[in-house]
Amino acid sequence: MSHTTAAQQTCIVIGASHGGVNVAFSLRKEGWKGRIILIDRDPNYPYHRPPLSKTYLLNERDPQKILLKPVPSYLEQDITLHLGVEVSQIDKEQHVVTLSDGSTLHYDKLVLALGARPIIPPIAGIDTASNLFAVRTLADIDGIRNTIKVIEKPRAVIIGGGYIGLETAASLTKIGVEVTVLEREDRLLARVTTPYMSEFFNTLHSQHGVAIHTGKNVTSINQENSTSWVQCSDGSQYSADVIIVGVGIKVNQELAQEAGLHVDNGIVVDTCARTSDEHIYAVGDCTYHHNPLYDRYVRLESVQNAVDQAKVVAAAITKKQPSYNAIPWFWSDQYDIKLQMVGLSAGHNTIITRHEPDASGHKFSVWYFLNERLLAVDTVNHAKAYVLATKIIKGAIKIDQNTLMDEQVDLTLEHLINANTDS
Amino acid sequence: MAKITFITRDQQAITLEASSGSVMELAVQNSVSGIDGDCGGVCSCATCHVHVAPKDVSKIGAPSEIEQDMLELDDNANEYSRLCCQMEISEELDGIVLNVAH
Ligand SMILES: Cc1cc2nc3c(=O)[nH]c(=O)nc-3n(C[C@H](O)[C@H](O)[C@H](O)COP(=O)(O)OP(=O)(O)OC[C@H]3O[C@@H](n4cnc5c(N)ncnc54)[C@H](O)[C@@H]3O)c2cc1C
Ligand code: FES
């Protein structure tokens, strides 16, 4: 068998979003000389997703403003973009991917940055509702905007009170839409945060005029001319000009599964983001990976994870020996509230909530411990606590919980540690 | 219009011109190495860290509290540090020099 030189090798990346785009550019940075082909079914130049529910929905900004990379940079870095094209099959024995138009491409290295898609729950009438949108793509936001634009006092019903649903609620309220949020659980953000935070966001949104209804199981959607009625199992119903679904995501793992890769709550990867096939890697929302800091397998939905894993893959493909050990972090912006989270709170047995004197009354942090060990922190308008927590978690630093609880004591690492050594 | 010069870690000087937007956007649109802008410019990621040339400090306002706090994530931060997604371009910035921190 003849050997291909480095310059003749091809790396194909499926999925051109936070994960895939960063793989492509990081590969060049790491000195990959071969071809790079980046494929996505989305016809738009790759863009940032977080602004979709935030500034982009709010300000109707130019899509150019949220591009991940400037258009000419793909050419400059010799990255071939195939947009509006879907990969329908991977043959890992032959090293070939098949595209939806039937054509095939050969790879030496393959990276799956497939991400996830919104869950569309089995609600009667959901498939035929013409004014119903998810919040995942540029097209979704344009759809929402075009629908409300022609209505004088538009009403939106948002199914799902998670981060994306709530950010969308905040943005729509700000542009004059009357918003109702229907959440199935008995509190907002039930899957991802504590009752304290849920209560905070409930009050925040209510104060801004959003109608929040928890314990609402949506059972059907009925269309009456241009108005829809969203009906719940308890008999209540809500009228809507636009319906938004934000009930979570489903990993795009079928392509990997059909190719015979190991899949379990996502595409399973090792510490250098390699799948069960040595020539295939995976990054971002679609991966199920081991986090050494918490010593367990996790699936994360965050820009941080997509970007950090992308760097690991680029290093691995260019024959370095990286190991993924980043600390997870996430943010959410709603109204004038900045929520920042670091670490993974699952498994905590102690929670300390700390308020700082602040004119807005909205500056606090929630600290999650497993006994002595700090696992995670959620902060609201309090970047200082966020940064401090990041350092404490990274360094596995022991801090004094009583000092942390004492709101009279300034929040500094010195205070938190010194109290510790005194006692 | 403001002319802004970025000096990257490998000592490349790149001078760019703009009249609006953030300094981070300008850098990313022109692929200035070391400015990633991973959070899209909302002061959440600290991947847009620059050191302002001492001579230009007076032209640039002070960082906000949150920006100041976020800068502490980076060991490389000093009194000249800014997260350039928080710097709006205006005439005032004409002629400034920014050293990219990474
Ligand atoms: C509205 C919204 C707000 C968010 N806010 C935040 C936030 O504030 N902070 C934060 O950290 N994270 C946020 N996130 C999450 C963050 O955007 C994701 O974690 C990130 O986009 C993951 O990147 P990815 O590349 O792994 O996957 P994705 O972004 O899902 O990209 C996967 C890509 O693969 C393509 N694809 C999949 N299968 C195929 C195929 N067979 N053929 C061709 N193309 C294919 C898809 O079209 C898609 O473009 C938000 C997400 C959304 C939707
Ligand atoms: S771009 Fe993220 S902090 Fe500036």
Closest ligand to Cα A84 = 1
pLDDT tens for A222-232 read 998 878 999 99
pLDDT tens for A302-345 read 999 999 999 999 999 999 988 888 999 999 999 999 999 999 99
- Which of B44, B45, B47 gets mutated to test ligand 1 (max ligand atoms within 8 A of its CB)? B44
- C-alpha A73 – ligand 1 centre gap (Å): 21
Calpha distance A123→A228 (Å, rounded)? 13
pLDDT tens for A257-288 read 999 999 999 999 999 999 999 999 999 999 99
Q: Ligand 2, residue B86: give the atom nearest the CA.
A: 4
φ, ψ for residue A84, nearest 5 deg: 75, 20
Ligand 2 and B47: CB distance under 6 A: yes
Ligand 2 and B85: CB distance under 6 A: yes
Calpha distance A57→A30 (Å, rounded)? 36
* pLDDT value of residue A419: 65
Q: Residue A387 and residue B44: Cβ atoms within 8 Å? A: no
CATH 3.50.50.60 corresponds to the domain B2-100 = no
* pLDDT value of residue A3: 56
- Give the predicted TM-score (pTM) of the model: 0.96
Low-confidence ranges of chain B (pLDDT < 70): none
Rg (CA), chain B: 12
Alpha-carbon distance B73 to nearest alpha carbon in chain A (angstroms): 6
Q: Residue B31 and residue A387: Cβ atoms within 8 Å? A: no
Q: Residue B70 and residue A383: Cβ atoms within 8 Å? A: yes
- Sort out which chain B residues have CB atoms less than 8 A from A337's CB and list them: none
User: Domain coordinates of chain B in residue numbers?
Assistant: 2-100
Q: Nearest Cα to A411, choosing from A337, A328, A332, A353?
A: A353
Q: Nearest Cα to A339, choosing from A307, A300, A377, A302?
A: A377
Ligand 2 and B23: CB distance under 6 A: no
Percent above pLDDT 70 for chain A: 98
* A14 CB-contact burial (10 Å; exposed 0-12 / middle 13-18 / buried 19+): buried
Residue ranges of A 373-402 with Cβ closer than 8 A to chain B: 381, 383-384, 386-387, 390
Q: How far is Cα of residue A192 from the mean position of the Cα atoms in its chain? A: 12
Does residue A407 sit at the B interface (CB-CB below 8 Å)?
A: no
* Residue bearing the CA closest to ligand 2, atom 3: B43
Mean pLDDT taken over chain B = 95
Calpha distance A81→A421 (Å, rounded)? 56
Residue ranges of A 52-71 with Cβ closer than 8 A to chain B: 54-55, 65-66, 69-70
Percent above pLDDT 90 for chain A: 90
Q: How many residues does chain A have?
A: 423
* pLDDT value of residue A358: 79
- C-alpha B29 – ligand 1 centre gap (Å): 21
Calpha distance A98→A105 (Å, rounded)? 7
Angstrom distances, CA of residue A377 to CA of A91, A199, A337, A350, A380:
43, 17, 16, 12, 10
- Sort out which chain A residues have CB atoms less than 8 A from B72's CB and list them: 384, 387
